[in-house]
Structure 1
Amino acid sequence: MLDSAWGADDHPYMIVSALLLLAQAATPQPAQPADIIVVGQRAEQALADCLARACPPAEDVEASLQASVEQFTGGRYVDARRTLQASIRRNRDHAAQLPGPVSSLYATLATVAEHEGDADLWRTSARNNVLVLREHVGEGNPATLTEELSFADNILGMGQTATADEMYGTAQRHAIEAGHANIAAGAAFRRAWLAMLREQYDRAERFATQAVTLAGPGDRTIVELRDILRARIAIRKGDKGAVDALAARLRQSADAQPRLLFSRPIENIDPAQFIDLSFPIGGWNDSRIRFADVGYWVRPDGRTADAEVLQTSGLGQWRQVILDQVADRRYVPLDVPAGSPGTYRIDRFTIRGTIGIATGTRIRQRVGQLTVHIVDLTETEAMSAAAKRQMAEVRSRQGS
């Protein structure tokens, strides 16, 4: 259950996507062959070779991460999870020597668990990621603080808004004590955005102003984020021109991650609303995982273009719903040379139920309503290599 009231456009998973984009600080059923881009198994073979020669832990971890990314990108979520869990068993005792790599195993496992629908594994993996860094690099280390915020984002994604808000506050305090003003500002802005989504507009304004103060007068980005938040509040209060007005005065470098101004939620993913009767009616006991990788351009004016499904499995009637959601987004306009096409992105959308125990049985299975989960493959560090291969294929087809 969620621990606060949400508006119609405030599904917690969409909120996390918004926070990650703005704060800056996944085995499915086979699809039709025509819908699939074949992803090779080079990284898996490299991992097998590494293990066969008893490679050092650092090489093992890196090869495991790359193999899991290859499996995740290919839609083989169970294989990705097993690869990461096996590497954790082999390498967790080396965390003192390899705190960053071992924490990356847990962080990547958390992403896979989220998309697979295992909330318990999602939570424990995200927490273990933080615990490794706390123990081996220190509570005030920037890497630890950054992962503390990521853990809070995960908790928010599970609908635990009060807990997430408390964790943001703790991370903000620790960052201030350690002298990391930019991380403290990121935490404060997350609290502002969450307050806005809960219609606590005065509190949102207070935290946003605090974020600007913490970041300092020279940080243009946090000022723009505060203005984006104010625009969102204006939209919620009925000002339909707020997005256009804000977009007209904001610019950003194309080298940075595009910052989201506006995005509609995927409001209804209930299979009963669609004609395709091969889907079970309602989300209950639906054991499938459906996913799609959507490529799209963010044009210099901040609008998206040429959204297309690059890879899909079992998406069915949701295909157009997802494409429409991407097409309707608005980003901060890009500060790029005249004639630039903008920047290309790839998002992974996963639609699945949550793993749990249904009433009347002790068997773990997918239960409850289906939900949408999104990860930016072009921005998430652990996913970037596989995403770049997909992007190269797309650009080759488009001649760009």
Structure 2
Amino acid sequence: MILLVVALLQSAAVAPPPAAAGEDQTIVVVGQRLSGTERALAACIARGCPPKKEIAASLAHAENQFLVGDYAASRATLLKARSRNEKYAKDIPVDVANLIRASGRLASLNGLSDSSRTNAIDSLDVLKGGLAHSDPRVLTERLLVGDTFAKERRYTAAEEVYGTVAKQANAAGLKQVEGLALLRTAVLYTALASVDSAYEYQARKAIRRIRDTTDPELAPFREATVTLERRVKSGDKAHDVEKAELAKTPSQQRTNEAVLVYASPIDLPDRSESGSKVVAVTGDPVPQWVDVTFMVRPDGTVQDIDVVRQSDNVRGPWLDAVKASLAKRLYRPLAMAADKPGLRRIERYSLIYDVSYAPGSRVQARSSKPRVEMTDLTVETPANLTDRHRRVSSCGDHACGRSTRPQAPRSYCL
């Protein structure tokens, strides 16, 4: 089973913050202990602290619960926080929207795709109620709604959302947001075309739409289409072709960041989740998860893949599929000497069985077909050790839009 689309869309969204160059990136565990964030949240609620602070305390505790692997408790913390603070949406729309978005992220990680989608829409509605409809944060949030459709394999619906955002951003003069929306469509169909040639026409059409633009602000997006076109053209030889092209990267185009350019799908064998006949019919109610570290070498290839932590219920060969995909990743070559170790990354992979209705029934059950979600846990800079690249509190993906001006894409994964 091939699972890739949403991670690809998110990596095409906004560039990661810069990482220190030329030195090994030590993995640092930061923040308070779980008991500490639990006490801090309880004390905040007890003294009636302002909604902004209470939301922040709730998000911090929920993130800690997620990091230790208690996905259900993490979501419960966010749901309770939402019930207490949603009434302040008009006063602090961005904070409340962040809370709802995080709740949607945890819903997805708990296998509740319908709830994840409705939370994305609710978060958008909160922003629309407190900000101008042409505000880039509103439009970027709408892109996340499109991502939920893509995750559910409702590709036409996702394309329609991205297209609407592109038109609205164009009308508002928000070229960066317009480019993000156009690129999302191109990445979506290029990813699909890589495993099903029936999508090749849509991929080429979406790529051509970006390539034919002339606005100088969209130049980085036109640059991204070079890789997309190469991926469609090279088919199953994409890895070797891209590796050869990246080897030609001139020194002035190398980077101090881990900029992902190519990632192969995570191929899950049928019924890979376990050998149990029971699980083959009904999937696990609790996600399996692993934290994986690896090094991005100066030439952009990956080495030293290692599992540093995992849930007690991990079993089956799905972890091998994750490692196989990581081993084939290609990043833009780094601006450092070839004998340097490179940049260290750490990512959380979760194997999830979605809740769905049994055929011809209103009874809900876990699907027997799993999917994988990735959360980046890399600490990016020593100066900002308390902020992870993919915090649950900021919705867990590049597409959040942490500023009012989304950045141009420097990361476009295929």
TM-score over 0.5 (shorter chain): yes
- Alignment-derived partner of residue 28 in structure 1: none
TM superposition shift of 1:383: 5.6
Provide the rounded CA distance (Å) in 1 between the counterparts of 2:266 and 2:278. 23
1:72 to 1:237, Cα distance in 2 relative to 1, 3 A: closer
Mapped contact 1:377–1:384 kept (Cα < 8 A)? no
- Alignment-derived partner of residue 45 in structure 2: 51
1:172 to 1:327, Cα distance in 2 relative to 1, 3 A: same
TM superposition shift of 1:218: 6.1
1:39 to 1:262, Cα distance in 2 relative to 1, 3 A: same
RMSD: 2.9
Provide the rounded CA distance (Å) in 2 between the counterparts of 1:278 and 1:203. 40
Q: Alignment partner of 2:348: what SS?
A: strand
Provide the rounded CA distance (Å) in 2 between the counterparts of 1:178 and 1:109. 30
Partner residue of 1:306 out of 304, 324, 328 = 304
Letter in 2 for 1:329: R
- Alignment-derived partner of residue 108 in structure 2: 114
Mapped contact 2:299–2:333 kept (Cα < 8 A)? yes
Partner residue of 1:254 out of 253, 256, 262 = 256
1:240 to 1:377, Cα distance in 2 relative to 1, 3 A: closer
- Alignment-derived partner of residue 74 in structure 1: 68
Letter in 2 for 1:260: V
Q: Alignment partner of 2:247: what SS?
A: helix
TM superposition shift of 1:41: 2.8
Indicate the structure whose relative CO is greater, using CA pairs within 8 Å and at least 6 residues apart: 2
Provide the rounded CA distance (Å) in 2 between the counterparts of 1:179 and 1:291. 42
Give the number of equivalent residue pairs. Answer: 361
Mapped contact 2:234–2:241 kept (Cα < 8 A)? yes
Alignment TM-score, normalising by the size of structure 1: 0.81
1:357 is the counterpart of 2:347: no
Provide the rounded CA distance (Å) in 2 between the counterparts of 1:16 and 1:354. 15
The range that moved more, 337-346 or 88-97, is 337-346
1:289 is the counterpart of 2:282: no
Partner residue of 2:99 out of 105, 128, 144 = 105
1:320 to 1:228, Cα distance in 2 relative to 1, 3 A: same
1:19 is the counterpart of 2:9: yes
Mapped contact 2:283–2:369 kept (Cα < 8 A)? no
Q: Alignment partner of 1:84: what SS?
A: helix
Provide the rounded CA distance (Å) in 1 between the counterparts of 2:214 and 2:54. 39
Provide the rounded CA distance (Å) in 2 between the counterparts of 1:309 and 1:239. 27
Any unmatched runs of 5+ in structure 2?
16-28, 379-388, 397-414
Mapped contact 1:307–1:327 kept (Cα < 8 A)? yes
Provide the rounded CA distance (Å) in 2 between the counterparts of 1:286 and 1:87. 27
Alignment TM-score, normalising by the size of structure 2: 0.78
Provide the rounded CA distance (Å) in 2 between the counterparts of 1:107 and 1:293. 23
TM superposition shift of 1:191: 1.4
TM superposition shift of 1:304: 1.4
1:1-400 matched pairs, under 5 angstroms: 9=2, 11=3, 14-24=4-14, 40-196=34-190, 197-198=192-193, 199=197, 200-212=199-211, 216-217=215-216, 221-236=220-235, 238=237, 241-250=240-249, 251-255=253-257, 258-268=259-269, 270-271=271-272, 277=275, 280-313=278-311, 314-317=313-316, 318-336=318-336, 340-358=340-358, 363-378=363-378, 379-382=389-392
The range that moved more, 56-65 or 321-330, is 321-330
- Measured against aligned partners, the alpha-carbon deviations of 1:222-273 in whole angstroms (never above 9, x if no partner) come to 2442121012112217566421233124444324x5223132322315237x
Q: Could you tell me the percent identity over the aligned residues?
A: 27
Mapped contact 1:228–1:246 kept (Cα < 8 A)? no
TM superposition shift of 1:281: 4.7
Provide the rounded CA distance (Å) in 2 between the counterparts of 1:42 and 1:249. 50
TM superposition shift of 1:168: 0.5
1:382 to 1:340, Cα distance in 2 relative to 1, 3 A: farther
TM superposition shift of 1:65: 0.7
